[in-house]
Amino acid sequence: MLKNVIEFSAKKSILQNKNIHPIPCKLNIPDWFKKLEHTFTNRTIKGCIPVLDSLTAGYILKIPIDVYIEHNVIKNQERTTKITSGLERSPFNLNVNEADDSHPTHQLGDECPLTKKNKNLPFLKIMNPWTIKTPFGYSCLFLPPLNNSDDRFSIIPAIVDTDSYANEINFPFVINGDKYPVLKSIIKEGTPFVQVIPFKRDNWQMNLTCTKDTELQLEKFKLFSKFINKYKNKWWYKKSWK
């Protein structure tokens, strides 16, 4: 029996929609990665276990409802950004963009790269109906799906102590202004947008050392003694996310 359990809780109307349930990241591996083959004569990124670990670590949160984004759009001679949904001003109180919410640019400052990428407009937020609970001593890292993110937007990564914080965690995001100077787009219900990686909090101290030549030679020999699957067979520890 696993002792490490992460709990996602939401109101009944959210729970009834399985399309927006959190899922293990291993169920969200992109098709382009699945289609690759990795052999001695055709070495691809599919043979890179660290990349596979990044794709399968933790859990995926999905957009709970369709939302429409208008970003860097001229209205009344002013540049605007707005997120709306069919539930705008609804009485449901589900924490799912029933009203738009944002952070002003001054909170990050003019020199922040995220501000520039977002075209110096307020940072919109995706409201998340799930509360997340981890065992004592464990926090969660929230970030865009690693090596598998949407090309239109990405959340601002953050860490929350989910063993003590008992509220929904909402996600400010940045529009990819480098690719979409102006964006008018629907982000559909069920779109993966957050990767949740729980981890145990520990205190660390950095130390710099000199590697001994004999140790380095041994590691090099292990590295070059096989044609493929070197790291997987000699160094990798399999992880479990259910």
* Overall fold of domain 7-208: Deoxyuridine 5'-Triphosphate Nucleotidohydrolase; Chain A (2.70.40)
Dihedral of the alpha carbons of 213, 218, 224, 228, in degrees to the nearest 10: -140
| Token pair listed for 92 | 């449901």
Predicted confidence band of residue 65 (pLDDT cuts 50, 70, 90): very high
HSE-CB at 164 with a 13 A cutoff on CA atoms is 5
pLDDT tens sequence across 117-164: 999 999 999 999 999 999 999 999 999 999 999 999 999 999 999 999
Per DSSP (E only), the strands in the chain are 7-9, 23-24, 59-62, 67-75, 78-84, 102-103, 123-126, 131-133, 138-143, 153-155, 158-160, 171-175, 183-187, 192-200
Domain boundaries, the chain: 7-208
How sure is the predictor about 1, in pLDDT bands with cuts at 50, 70 and 90? very low
Of 26-30, 40-44, 119-123, 152-156, least confident by mean pLDDT is 40-44
| Residue 239 near residue 56 (C-beta atoms within 8 A) | yes
Q: Strand locations in 161-225, DSSP E?
A: 171-175, 183-187, 192-200
